[in-house]
Amino acid sequence: MEPLHLGLLLCATALGGRATPPGRPGAAALGELAPTGKLRFGVVTAPARTSFFVVQDAQGEPSGVPADLARELAREAGIPIEFLVAPNSGIVTDALSSGAIDASFMPVDEERSKKVDFGPVYFVFENTYLVRAGSDIRTIAEVDRPGVRVIGIAGTTTIRTSASLLTKTKIAPVTAVGEALEMLVAGQADAFALTRDSLTPLATRVPGARILDGAFHRTGIGIAVPKNRPLALAYVSAFLEYAKASGMVRRTFDAAGQTDLAVAPAAAA
């Protein structure tokens, strides 16, 4: 299932994918990008690194694709960075919308676009389900039947889309990925909705669980800033196009063990 504006998202800027760094932002752009003098950046944690999730070390420092790209963004802009590490993207969306943080990478959907402004995407993903050991569910269609206990991460594109498609059962929100995996292991849920690339490394933590073939949704992970910061949006968009064209995004994928993932295409010129 295609999101309403995916084609527009992939062509969100007219930068043409040139491998030219954006350089330091001007004073006006810097005032929008980092009004406190540092880049406050939101990321989401999980038990494994993926195209979207980060992990934290003993000191709480995040590592993974979004954190690595965010550090490069701050380095290019010549400003320090401070991370907000949250258990789900709904919390990050609210922080970005309120101006508590300045930028984030997050899945694009129509509801979220009402709260924040999106630039280009760096990865296009598919949503599917992880089903518990012993389940007789074999297809995505079989998830939607009475009595099936479906869970998803609160406030996310995935749970909103799954909820809109399920007609015979309902999806219940959980706070974090780790909580969802524990529920599957304990037999307290039958299916967990998430992105396929994230489920691949996480499925090993649920013995006997299976990832269903196919997808019920497809969208991109884009760079986002608070509403009404056009100069900040232009700068982070230029940075992300440079990061894709220069191979930076590819390197962050590889460093996170996501060597089989494809970087989203450059924006059209």
Cβ count within 10 A of residue 134: 9
Cβ neighbours of residue 166 under 8 Å, at least 6 residues apart?
143, 144, 150
Domain boundaries, the chain: 6-125+219-255, 126-211
Q: What is the model's pLDDT at position 267?
A: 74
From first to last of its 269 residues, the chain has per-residue pLDDT tens of 333 333 333 333 334 456 789 999 999 999 999 999 999 999 999 999 999 999 999 999 999 999 999 999 999 999 999 999 999 999 999 999 999 999 999 999 999 999 999 999 999 999 999 999 999 999 999 999 999 999 999 999 999 999 999 999 999 999 999 999 999 999 999 999 999 999 999 999 999 999 999 999 999 999 999 999 999 999 999 999 999 999 999 999 999 999 999 999 987 54
Asked, colleague to colleague, whether 6-125+219-255 and 126-211 share their fold, the answer is: yes
Q: What is the model's pLDDT at position 19?
A: 77
Q: What is the model's pLDDT at position 3?
A: 37
What is the SS3 assignment for 206-231? CCCCEECCCCCEEEEEEEEEECCCHH
Q: What is the model's pLDDT at position 10?
A: 37
Kindly give the residue spans of alpha helices, DSSP state H, lying in 2-109.
6-10, 27-33, 65-77, 89-98
| Cα Rg of the chain (Å, integer) | 18
| Opening angle at CA 268, ends 265 and 269, nearest 5 | 135
Please tell me the pTM assigned to this model: 0.88
Q: What is the model's pLDDT at position 122?
A: 97
What is the CATH T-level fold of the domain 126-211, as seen in this structure? D-Maltodextrin-Binding Protein; domain 2 (3.40.190)
- Which runs of E-coded beta strand occur in the chain? 39-45, 53-56, 62-63, 81-86, 103-107, 116-131, 150-153, 171-174, 191-195, 210-211, 217-226
What does the DSSP 8-state code read for residue 261? P
Residue 186 and residue 192: Cα distance in Å, rounded?
13
Residue 108 and residue 195: Cα distance in Å, rounded?
13
- Tell me if the domain spanning 6-125+219-255 has CATH number 3.40.190.10: yes
Type of residue at 71: R
Type of residue at 226: P
Residue 149 and residue 143: Cα distance in Å, rounded?
9
β-pairing, 191-195 with 116-131?
Answer: antiparallel
